[in-house]
Amino acid sequence: MENNLTLIYYKHRNKTNNLRIFSSSVRQYFVDNYPHPLFHNHDVTGKSIYRSKGAPFQFKVINNEVFILALNDGVEFANSFQWPKEIRMPLGHNGRYVELELVSIDPKQASFCETSFQSYRNITPYIALKQEKYKIYLTLTEDERRAFIEKGLSNHILTAAKWCGLTVKHKIETKLIQMKIERPVRIKDDLYFIPFDVMFECNTEIPTQDQRLKLRVEVLRD
């Protein structure tokens, strides 16, 4: 069976310089240097062209290391694209640069098959609620809040499977082990999302890189 996602991994060549890398800088670097719609994910009017099935490339920074996740239309392109071995990437418009080097290109086959319950924990805040849903969340009891987040996790896993071209036939179940609200994350203008630090069990196999790095569910989200 052909792989339905590919993970490209770049590491910071000099972590001692304390330069923080943002996913927006990574995305902008590839948009500026490789003007392909699979990278910028928008048509000439600025409208998203892949929203219904997930962006073909997801740009993430975890522990100041860069991970680019290719899925859907991005997989075949990622496997044939000549990824630069070294990158000198600007960080915004302040004249600072960071040097990255390619570590690996890892084709993977996600199955999202039913399994016995396994434990997962996000390694960066899990963006679970927009502002309007957070207002609903605040009106709930503690048990209702847990159920609310568990349902959201299940829905996000189901969406991730769909974006990998898979149909999940079993009922996805999640059970929270712990949950903590983090500070609101500003996306743009007055748009904020409420992130959580969660540990949960799930009866569905979620794609992981290795025991050192568990890709959180929202890695498969735009």
Q: Is the pLDDT of residue 159 over 70?
A: yes
Are residues 72 and 135 located together in one domain of the fold?
no
Please determine, for residue 214, whether its predicted confidence score (pLDDT) is greater than 50: no
Q: Tell me, yes or no, whether 176 and 88 share the same domain.
A: no
Q: What is the pLDDT of residue 63?
A: 84
Tens digits of residue pLDDT in 193-205: 888 999 999 999 9
Provide the domain count of the chain.
2
Which of residues 201 and 210 earns the better pLDDT score? 201
pLDDT higher than 60, residue 9: yes
Six token digits for residue 196: 């959580």
Question: Final residue of a domain: which of 69, 90, 108?
Answer: 108
Inform me whether the pLDDT recorded for 90 exceeds 80: yes
Q: Do residues 119 and 67 both lie within one domain?
A: no
The pLDDT tens digits for 14-68 are 766 678 888 889 988 998 998 888 887 766 666 666 655 677 888 888 888 999 9
Tokens of 172: 């996805």
Point out the least confidently predicted range of 51-55, 100-104, 129-133, 173-177.
51-55
pLDDT above 70 coverage of the chain, percent? 84
Question: Residue 201: which domain range?
Answer: 114-220
Whether residues 84 and 176 fall in one domain: no
Give the CATH number, domain containing residue 214.
Answer: 3.30.70
Does residue 214 share a domain with residue 121?
A: yes
| Contacting residues for 73 by C-beta, under 8 A, at least 6 apart | 38, 50, 56
Residue 113 has pLDDT above 90, yes or no: yes
Does residue 103 sit in the same domain as residue 168?
no
User: In sequence order, which residues have a C-beta less than 8 Å from that of residue 29 and are 6 or more positions away?
Assistant: 87, 89, 90
User: What are the strands, taking DSSP E only, across the chain?
Assistant: 5-12, 57-62, 65-71, 86-90, 97-108, 114-121, 126-130, 174-181, 185-188, 191-204
Pairwise CA distance, residues 45 & 47, whole Å: 6
> Do 152 and 95 share a structural domain?
no
The residue among 59, 84, 108 that closes a domain is 108
Residues 59 and 120 in one domain: no
Given 93, 108, 123, the domain boundary residue is 108
